[in-house]
A and B are shown apart, each in its own frame.
Chain A
Amino acid sequence: MMDLRSPGRRSRRTTQGRDVEIDRLLGEPFIRATLRRSAAPSLMTVLAVVLGVGLLGLAGWFIAASAVAGLAVTSTFSFLFPSAGVQALAWARTLARYGERITTHHATLDLVAALRTALFATAIRLPRDRAADLRSSELIGRLTIDSDAVEQTLLRSAFPIIAATAAALGAIAAFTSLSIRVGAVATAGLTITAATLVVAARKQAGAPAKTLVSARAAARRALIEALDGLPELRSFGAERLAAAEVARHLEIYADARRRMAKITARGHAVGTLLADLTLVVVIVAAAGLLGGGSLSTPWFVAVCVVTIAIFEPLGALPGAIVALVRGRAAAARIIELLPEPEASQSRARLPTAATLCLDLALPGQGVEGRLQPGDALVLTGASGAGKSTVLRAIAGSPASGFEIRLGDIDPATVPPKEIAARVTLVAQDAHVFDGTIRDNLLLAEPAADETELWDALAAAALRETVAGFSAGLDTPVGPGGAALSGGQRRRLSVAQGVLRRPAVLLLDEPTEGLDTATAGDLLASVRAAVPEAVLVIALHDRQAPELPWIPTQQIHLCPTFG
């Protein structure tokens, strides 16, 4: 589930450095990629934990040595050196902790930003039909868990695991150098403790982690849909039904969280018991209670204090493992989104706009024809007859049941970029972006000047409306164009299509939601605005007779088709 490498992905690499970086990031197993980014924070983490444990060990050693010297009749114990050491360690540890916090969070945030960009890039590259399959609420639900995935994996699990490992290994090394017996006992105790914690948390957390991640996404999706359908739901008294559906998902989510928290708490408790058991056997060994002689008092105290001190990093293990499992579940969900490799990567080029012809053969309908630049085709037919399918096929979506050739090439085999340069599809459900009218128009053509923007609006029969707004082009449209009426949104999308000046302009029901007069204006002005373009318009049967110009060809699609 973590291996994302595939021939298809590789072949889509661009020459832009940043894109290769994104591919590399998503193309590596998640954990390894994040760890590579975090060499410096890992070092700081190790430094901070070693200095922290070392400070307590040295302080313990120091006061025990003082006690020994205080009891002795003559003593050569030098007070200055260890006390200076304690102070130096104290300051070094404070600085290391600060450095650790800054570097670990920096690495995490950096990765969140990179991952978010990478996910957006991936979403853009989704094969067209997959993108359509994933409804927006689903897509959003998945992509918003990105930061969760990184935070859980890196900040809450990778670094704590590094700290625990460093503390345990450091302690074992130090103890062994003092006494093989103490070292062996500590090794056994710490290994059993750590292994128990890791194995138990891993085993138990898997299922609830998956539930947690998917329930959270499902709750978000259910919420968005219920809120969208609220006016209608209320009129049937069914709003409680929708609320219950949302509450059901929230309940599953809360339950999964409860289970995860229980696993962490139980792990922590077991860890406490095992660590203190280790402390007992270390005391028995170091004090020579069962024979074998005792360590000197200062070293005995240092060993005890260090054994206690390393419990803090060790005790974080269950939480870290649970977080790791959760992060991986989130990552797996995101990764499901990634595009499947496409079979062939053709480098087909389309002819220039001036010579681009569109051939259309619909065998089931007995229709065949060629459109030259400047021609117009009108598709009519019942809803569900397949008008949109034909338009999408011209724009490169794979389709069956008819043959389409753009300049003698099957558009499904042309790279999407090449299609986008020549063909613009204004879909029925075209999105209007949060921002101003100008922002939306500039998305279509960033270099357009003021005159061109107004001309495009005029072509879409929207000029007078916008001129009537006091802020004109700078009128904010709200998220999803909420501040505009349905018909105004449609026309803004048409204006975007016109601004692209495509060789082939495809309009899917551009007049839906418009009154007859405005619909007629729009159809007339669009044709006039792009006189050289092949124009393909899907219309309702009832609007077709009101065409202000005579189309080169008109096809009525039968409902059986598609």
Chain B
Amino acid sequence: MVAERLLGSAFVSSLDAAARRRLADALKPGRRRLEAAGTLSAVAASATAATFFAVAEVAQDVLLERASWTHEARWLALLTGSSIVRAGAARASARQATEGALAVEADLRARLLARMTEGAVTSLPSAAQATAILDEVERIGAYAERYQPARVAAVLAPLVLLAAVFPLSWPVGVLLILCAPLPPVNLSIVGMGTASVARRHAEELRYLSGYFLDRLRGLATLRALGAERTELARVRATSERLGESAMAVLRVAFISAAVLDAIVTVAVALIAIYVGLTLLGYVDVPGLPSHMSLGSGLFVLMVTPLYFQPVRALAAAYHERADALAAIEALQPLLAHAAPEPAPRRPLRRAPPIVVSELTVSFREQEAPALRGLSLSIEPGELIGVAGASGAGKSTLLRVLAGEIDPTTGTARVDGAAPDRLDRTAICWLGQRPYLFPGTIEDNIILSRTGHSAAAVLRAARDAGLGELLDRLPRGLGTPVADGGWGFSGGEIQRLALARTLLTGTRLMLLDEPTAHLDALTESRIVRVICRAARGATTVIASHSPAVLAVCDRVITLDRGQLLAEEAHVETESLAAG
């Protein structure tokens, strides 16, 4: 699905101007540095020409047998001086190009990260989003670093070199000018062919890397099912297919490079023969100069490859351009997603009433809507249990109330407002798979909130049932938590997440299976904690557990996205208090 989506977006266009415009926009943050890199690279080319001029002059003196240390010292000085300029300019150019590319990448990544954290709803799984943020952005960076400076240099450097060639031999200058349009024309003709092959390859690449990652994630399952051999064969076949598809792109791209090479090489050969004939005195065509010095001849010969150098760099980077166009297209759905309006979000000052009417939610992947026409009304301060078979829509209802998912049709109102208009921190969410940071237990309870005393944190942890664990750990709350909570059991992670929610008073609690993975004893303790926290808050708990549902004021049961039954528990007050 991801693959299809990415592919779909990469497939639609890229030939069209829209993609090119987007790519140009993406390069803006680094534009000045990249142009500076191109200019510096043209300066380096000019310095190289000066080096060649010095060598050619020495050769002229050797020919005339007047070469001596005193005579050649100035040319050797010019050679050394131009070499220093060239080295400095080339180094500065490379650094500007790198900085420019890094600026482009940093800007794109910051935008993508902001979109994702601000809550752009995307159905892409995390691995695919990570690929976008890291790899696709890097492709655009590679294009910026190599292609952009070459584009500037391809205009500037030939102009400088022509200015040097014309006074020495105008026919060679004319020949170079005549050759100038050939590479770009060739490039764009072959480039058109490359673009479609490259796009097809990019699609294949994205699909197959998704496939590969999926198989890696399921290694243990593959092994348990004894399916490793079959899958290994499939991975081998797909990897080889990927290599072949890459080769197909390269073959086309290399033909373009070879044609370009042929143009440059034939130009060098032609100029060599023309210069040779002139030096021999065989050129006897009216209008053409019949004489030339060896120095001039050697200089124009050596400058010819230099003249074509930027265009060759462009050609070498051409597939990077195709890659970058495909990448910007793939990123478009992520970048273009409307940023949530910065409108002030409403805080909750009291336990809110909740009114859900005719709520329907459909996911594109699924056949049936997760919720259909659900209507529900919850009083302020009520503790509501949501029961129902797996897949009945319990989690979906909670996510809508949290503002994570927009209703497809119908409305949900929390305190009279759409949930996504509420201050998110006013809602307390406890999911099935809590997220843990690298940091201490205390860091993980406080998160980014401020103004909590150590005593309050400890109380929250003990209230959540972490007391025994903390007593066992020599460093208590200061115990480090590895990435992803490694080293803690599922129940411990669940209690840690509960401690987070207990640290600040809350007006709306949405708990998704808060006691999954817990034993009966721990569960009953956690149920008591939840009941205490639920005082003064509106609480919705999705659960299968009879112990949890027993303490609810009311339990609604969902069946395939619809309200099935509702029953009140009046006798639960005592239990909740105990």
Q: Which residues of A contact B114 (CB under 8 A)?
A: 243
Of the stretches A24-32, A189-197, A473-481, the one at the interface is A473-481
Q: Which residues of B contact A101 (CB under 8 A)?
A: 250, 254, 257-258
One of A82, A216, A237 near B448 (C-beta < 8 A): A237
Contact A383 B522 (CB under 8 A): yes
- Inter-chain CA distance A105–B117, complex, in Å, is 39
Q: A67-B294, A383-B519, A513-B516 are in contact. Are A427 and B79 (CB under 8 A)?
A: no
Of the stretches B15-23, B231-239, B454-462, the one at the interface is B231-239
Contact A232 B298 (CB under 8 A): no
A438 within 8 A of B: no
In the complex, what's the smallest C-beta–C-beta distance from B369 to chain A, in angstroms?
13
Contact with B along A205-247 (1 / 0, CB 8 A): 0000000000010011111111111111111111111110111
A460 within 8 A of B: no
Contact B435 A229 (CB under 8 A): yes
In the complex, what's the smallest C-beta–C-beta distance from B515 to chain A, in angstroms?
9
Contact with B along A76-116 (1 / 0, CB 8 A): 01010011001100110111011001100110011011101
Contact A64 B59 (CB under 8 A): yes
Q: Which residues of B contact A475 (CB under 8 A)?
A: 367
- Inter-chain CA distance A67–B258, complex, in Å, is 32
B453 within 8 A of A: no
Q: Which residues of A contact B240 (CB under 8 A)?
A: 113
Contact B269 A90 (CB under 8 A): yes
Nearest B residue to A138, CB-CB: B483
Interface residues of A in 445-494 (CB under 8 A from B): 446, 465, 468-471, 475-476, 478-480, 482-488, 490, 493
Nearest A residue to B236, CB-CB: A117
B531 within 8 A of A: no
Interface residues of A in 474-531 (CB under 8 A from B): 475-476, 478-480, 482-488, 490, 493, 496, 500, 512-518
In the complex, what's the smallest C-beta–C-beta distance from B79 to chain A, in angstroms?
6
Contact B51 A276 (CB under 8 A): yes
Interface centre among A113, A222, A500 (most CB of B within 10 A): A113
Contact B216 A123 (CB under 8 A): yes
Q: A98-B258, A139-B216, A289-B68 are in contact. Are A487 and B389 (CB under 8 A)?
A: yes
In the complex, what's the smallest C-beta–C-beta distance from A470 to chain B, in angstroms?
6
In the complex, what's the smallest C-beta–C-beta distance from B88 to chain A, in angstroms?
7
B378 within 8 A of A: no
Nearest B residue to A304, CB-CB: B55
Contact B67 A287 (CB under 8 A): yes
Nearest B residue to A228, CB-CB: B126
Q: A62-B276, A121-B232, A304-B55 are in contact. Are A98 and B102 (CB under 8 A)?
A: no
Q: Which residues of A contact B247 (CB under 8 A)?
A: 105-106, 109
Contact B282 A308 (CB under 8 A): no
Contact A486 B390 (CB under 8 A): yes
- Inter-chain CA distance A412–B305, complex, in Å, is 68
Contact A241 B210 (CB under 8 A): no
Contact A225 B484 (CB under 8 A): yes
- Inter-chain CA distance A55–B437, complex, in Å, is 62
B151 within 8 A of A: no
Q: Which residues of A contact B437 (CB under 8 A)?
A: 241-242, 245
A10 within 8 A of B: no
Q: Which residues of A contact B408 (CB under 8 A)?
A: none
- Give the B interface residue count (CB, 8 A): 159
Of the stretches B191-199, B352-360, B470-478, B540-548, the one at the interface is B540-548
Interface residues of A in 54-69 (CB under 8 A from B): 55-56, 59-60, 62-69
Q: Which residues of B contact A140 (CB under 8 A)?
A: 127, 213, 216-217
Q: Which residues of A contact B277 (CB under 8 A)?
A: 66, 79
Q: A444-B225, A475-B367, A480-B217 are in contact. Are A236 and B68 (CB under 8 A)?
A: no
In the complex, what's the smallest C-beta–C-beta distance from A290 to chain B, in angstroms?
6
- Inter-chain CA distance A288–B438, complex, in Å, is 70
Of the stretches A33-41, A170-178, A294-302, the one at the interface is A294-302
Contact A102 B250 (CB under 8 A): yes
B534 within 8 A of A: no
Nearest A residue to B208, CB-CB: A116
Contact B424 A515 (CB under 8 A): no
- Inter-chain CA distance A480–B437, complex, in Å, is 23
Interface residues of B in 373-399 (CB under 8 A from A): 387-391, 395, 399
Interface centre among B389, B434, B490, B516 (most CB of A within 10 A): B389
Nearest A residue to B272, CB-CB: A59
Of the stretches A159-167, A325-333, A369-377, A429-437, the one at the interface is A429-437
Nearest A residue to B316, CB-CB: A101
A361 within 8 A of B: no
In the complex, what's the smallest C-beta–C-beta distance from A175 to chain B, in angstroms?
16
Contact A542 B389 (CB under 8 A): no
Q: Which residues of B contact A488 (CB under 8 A)?
A: 390-391
Q: A63-B272, A265-B91 are in contact. Are A273 and B262 (CB under 8 A)?
A: no
One of A102, A109, A220 near B246 (C-beta < 8 A): A109
Nearest B residue to A16, CB-CB: B229
One of B2, B91, B127, B133 near A266 (C-beta < 8 A): B91
Q: Which residues of A contact B529 (CB under 8 A)?
A: none
Q: Which residues of A contact B239 (CB under 8 A)?
A: 112-114, 116-117
In the complex, what's the smallest C-beta–C-beta distance from B104 to chain A, in angstroms?
11
Contact A542 B545 (CB under 8 A): yes
- Give the A interface residue count (CB, 8 A): 169
Interface residues of A in 316-339 (CB under 8 A from B): none
In the complex, what's the smallest C-beta–C-beta distance from B509 to chain A, in angstroms?
10
B339 within 8 A of A: no
B286 within 8 A of A: no
Nearest A residue to B363, CB-CB: A483
- Inter-chain CA distance A78–B147, complex, in Å, is 45
Q: Which residues of A contact B67 (CB under 8 A)?
A: 287-289, 294
- Inter-chain CA distance A287–B520, complex, in Å, is 96
A384 within 8 A of B: yes
- Inter-chain CA distance A243–B520, complex, in Å, is 37
Q: Which residues of B contact A290 (CB under 8 A)?
A: 69
- Inter-chain CA distance A283–B272, complex, in Å, is 22
- Inter-chain CA distance A245–B497, complex, in Å, is 19
Contact B517 A383 (CB under 8 A): yes
Q: Which residues of B contact A395 (CB under 8 A)?
A: 224
Contact A485 B102 (CB under 8 A): no
Q: Which residues of A contact B116 (CB under 8 A)?
A: 227, 230, 243
A262 within 8 A of B: yes
Nearest B residue to A219, CB-CB: B134
Interface residues of B in 42-90 (CB under 8 A from A): 51-52, 55, 58-59, 61-63, 67-69, 72, 76, 79-80, 83-84, 86-88, 90
One of A71, A246, A247 near B63 (C-beta < 8 A): A71
In the complex, what's the smallest C-beta–C-beta distance from B176 to chain A, in angstroms?
16
Contact B58 A287 (CB under 8 A): yes
Q: Which residues of B contact A136 (CB under 8 A)?
A: 216-217
Contact A70 B280 (CB under 8 A): yes
Q: Which residues of A contact B200 (CB under 8 A)?
A: none
Interface residues of B in 415-449 (CB under 8 A from A): 424-425, 427-435, 437-438, 447-449
B218 within 8 A of A: yes
Of the stretches B93-101, B153-161, B178-186, B568-576, the one at the interface is B93-101
Contact A87 B491 (CB under 8 A): no
Q: Which residues of A contact B255 (CB under 8 A)?
A: 98
Interface residues of B in 467-506 (CB under 8 A from A): 483-484, 486, 489-492, 497, 500
Interface centre among B209, B246, B280 (most CB of A within 10 A): B280
Additional pairs, 13, CB under 8 Å, beyond known A59-B272, A120-B216, A287-B61: A83-B272, A105-B247, A131-B220, A227-B116, A236-B500, A266-B91, A272-B90, A287-B72, A383-B489, A487-B389, A487-B390, A488-B390, A513-B544
Q: 29 A–B contact pairs at CB < 8 A?
A: A18-B236, A55-B265, A64-B294, A67-B63, A79-B280, A83-B273, A120-B215, A131-B219, A136-B217, A219-B134, A220-B130, A226-B435, A241-B447, A257-B98, A265-B90, A280-B80, A290-B69, A308-B55, A308-B302, A420-B224, A433-B214, A433-B215, A443-B227, A443-B231, A480-B217, A483-B365, A485-B395, A515-B544, A540-B519
